[in-house]
Amino acid sequence: MMNESPSDRGGARLNVSTRSLRRLLLSLSVAGLLVGCGPGEPVGPPAAPPPAKAVFELPREESLTETREYTGNLEAVETVSIRARVRGTLDKVLFEEGAEVQVGDLLYELDPSEYQAVVDEKRAEIQRLEQQRRFAESEQKRQEELYRQNAGSLEALDARKNDVALAIADLAKAEATLRQAELDLSYTKIVAPIAGRVGRTLITVGNLVGYNEPTLLTTIVKMDPIHVHLDVPERDLLRFETAASESGGEWSLLGAKLAVGLEGEEGYPHVGEISFRDNRVVSETGTAFLRGTLQNPDRGLIPGQFCRIQVSVGPPQPRLLVPETALAADQRGRYVLVVKEDDTVEQRSVKVEQNSAVQGFLTVSEGLAKDDRVIVSGIQKTRPGSKVVPISAADEAVEQAKRAAPPASPSGGST
């Protein structure tokens, strides 16, 4: 037998200790597993979570009109620049700035003395020429009598007739000059040619106006009705024509409903109609000019204002509406989640048209049927193809009301 060295005996003792430690750790692990499982419980994978609850609504069906939205500006139906048509000194300003004026209201007066003097001169000239005409006519009659008595020559008679003709012509010229002088005198009183709202006066009393050119004094704009101007893309113009053709004469662009909203206003509270369409498309911009007309009895619409415009396209048609919360979007476009008959979820692509007439809802023109169960709540907890527990929005509201109600107080009894 070979003798073992001390080093060999130390290595053997180390191997025995390591094996004992491993057996001890294995025994403790098995015991822990047996304790965790409990008596009689099999060890297996965790159970699947229960189906998520999905709140759904059926699409609402309403008769709505397709619309297009644009931006534009308001313009006055009539705008007049008030100018001084003759030269003179401004004597009076006879209106309140910003007030409503009527046709014929006196706005300004110029110093009329210069023009009154011309009128008086022309009238005196006419009186003189009338006297000359009467004298020429009497001379013609006397010469005609002498000619019948063979006491006068034909040449003398022709000369008297010529004097009468010249007197009549001079009188007519003087009368025309008088009319021009009276017209110039009338221009010293400046009146409103249209009814509307007058602006601020640009010239004050004492200033010389109309010296080199007609001087601008103020402006008048007609406030009611009022126009709205807009440019529509060529593709929308083609859609209008298609809608008119499909309606069979029931609808046309001229006379179509138009609504306007101003800055700070919700929706489109001001309603009118399309009254004019230009006869061409501007090739540089690819747009066509349209003009609408709106009533403005309270003068709330002001020419020059920027506005939002909604134009109706075609007659009303049945359309499906879904809440905005039911719609989502990905790279392919807008979609909704629908609960199928087997209570599984389907992702459905839809075509959406914005319709501001129904707040909180969007119009779906393609992709849905009126009996589809559209998920409106719990969308984040559902996935296409997964199983769900469907509950209608009305039933969900009832359940929430029950949970929110305070508990009933116990019936009476002594404590």
Domain boundary assignment for the chain:
67-74+225-397, 78-110+188-221, 112-187
Enter the DSSP assignment of 1.
-
Cα radius of gyration (the chain): 49
Q: What's the pLDDT at 2?
A: 44
Q: What's the pLDDT at 360?
A: 78
Q: In this model, does residue 259 exceed pLDDT 90?
A: yes
Domain 78-110+188-221: give its CATH architecture.
Beta Barrel (2.40)
Element (H, E) at 124: helix 113-148
Lowest mean per-residue pLDDT among 75-84, 125-134, 180-189, 309-318: 309-318
Hey, what are 131's tokens?
């006297």
Structure confidence by residue, pLDDT tens digits, 243-252? 899 888 889 9
Average pLDDT over residues 153-182: 91
Q: How far is CA 286 from CA 231, 234, 241, 250, 291, in A?
A: 9, 6, 16, 28, 17
Domain 67-74+225-397: give its CATH code.
Answer: 2.40.30.170
Q: In this model, does residue 409 exceed pLDDT 70?
A: no
pLDDT above 90: percentage of residues in the chain? 47
SS3 of residue 383 by DSSP: coil
Count other Cβ atoms within 10 Å, centred on residue 347.
15
8 A C-beta contact, residue 357 and residue 62: no
